[in-house]
Structure 1
Amino acid sequence: MIRIITWNTQWGLGVDEQVDLKRLVDEARAIADFDVLCLQEISDNFPELKGNNGGNQFAEIAALLPDYTAIEGAALDIPGRSGGRSRFGNMILSRFPVAQVLRYTLPWEAAATRNMPRLLLEAVVEIPTGPLRVMTTHLEYSSDALRQAQVRGIREAHRTAYERTVTLRENGPGTYALFPTSPAAVLTGDFNMRPDDPVKQRISEPFDNGAPALLDAWQVTHVPTPHPPSFCLFEQSNGPPHCCDFIFVTEDLAPRISRIIYDQKTRASDHQPVLIELDM
């Protein structure tokens, strides 16, 4: 069995307005003895964020989980106000060995809203039964048009990843070395869309090249039960409680889902973490 948790951390800012990364990790561990942890909204050198001391959270979280391989995915990389670089993005931590890592900059089209670049972070995790592609992302909050473009980017990343499993490239030395990959994948993150959003549903549409479809794991196992809320559960300044955090699995993995839960207790972020367990 493999256990994966995804969580938008809000840089560790809890409902109590305290930033505490150790609390975040401890509460994730309390949910499950996770094998892979996918995180969004990790910051480095951003003291202007509420409650943030400006530290490198990528490094701090890696230090809290020394037995995991820590993969950084900074979508935003800009000059820091007090020097250095300020970064903001996603992170994957894996108990299992990690082969190749890919960072896809998602389409960033012109929009007059407040927005920023977004990233799809992919790590090939070498679980005992073989390689598994784990992806995590955080889509734009303010613009439906940008989310549409970003979903196209996610689908293209998955489509081409599948193509590379069908047509293997030539192996070679050094930078040309061939690493294991797989058509099987798990996609996690904060999609900033509600379950019935047509843009969100687009993620699960078939591919014309035979790539396995990405299915909403909750819908696979719980239809017609609605998704539990994952945002605004304890604080409603952004609207009533609703779900915008999802886990998708390729259709070949759907029969392997043994459990998916939305934690409704923790207040360590403004989002709730989601756990999936797969029999592998």
Structure 2
Amino acid sequence: MDLKRIDRAVGAYLQDAEPSDAARLRFFRGLFELQQERCDELSGDGGAAATAVEGLDEAYLSARPLLQLCPVAIEAGDFAATCRRIAAYMAAEAGLAEDVAQALGAIDWDEFSRRADLVLAGTDPSGFVEAVRADEGMAEPFGAAAGAAVLVLAFAVRTHVQAAAESLMDAVSADAKEGNHARPLHCPVCGAPASLSHVGVQDTLQGGARSQFCSACGTTWNFERIRCGSCGSQDQGDLHYHHVEGDPAHRLQTCDACGSYQRVVFQDDLRVPACLDVEDVVMAKLDRVALDPRFHRG
């Protein structure tokens, strides 16, 4: 994570943010710093995945997640330590109910990490989180803090894989990432659906370049300007944009073909420095707008 870019974006949003939005931004600013500090510690211990492997370009072009080719080895003790730090921060700063905060602080993360499928975590971060959520046996120790604990896991596994994700994307050739072929629909590193999309400054000839962002591992990748971020449809008649009055920078792209939506930030209309981790926080309000039946996920 680029903490300087995060600081610039958060500082700009805080100038006129509502109290609840400001509290959320400050919470995530602290969380991002914690994650990056821990990521730096892990990378210093050799925690980043090696990228001297063959077949990265082929995997990228065939939509095979790169972590399947070069998984991150996550040690149980390291993962437990990361979860403990994040859980303590959330218990103190997330505004949780007292019983939830206490339950979160009481979780034995060492025992959980010894039982957890950390091979899956290092290969498919979002799949790991969903597997724990769906496994009553794994989630039982979370008690009243089940919802918060699942967030801890998502934040922790991102911390363990983000350095490797960056290295893997750097190792993919420019031709694979920018050539004249279809871009990966889901995250090319971990396989998760994109969390949001970013359209850059408009060019008079080609329009604004578009990229996708994955919050599960922190990867950003190039994407087609006219395309559904959920199903890949490129039928322009199926795609529509909607935004809240007074905020054209943050939009919902809906798709008639699959009935889903994606959050998209338009750089031309953005009044703050672009930072996709921060935009992911800011645009959470659009998910509430999308509860309207017109915007339901497929």
Q: Which has the higher contact order (CA 8 A, sep 6+)?
A: 1
Larger fraction in strand: 1
TM-score (norm 1): 0.30
Structure with max Cα Rg: 2
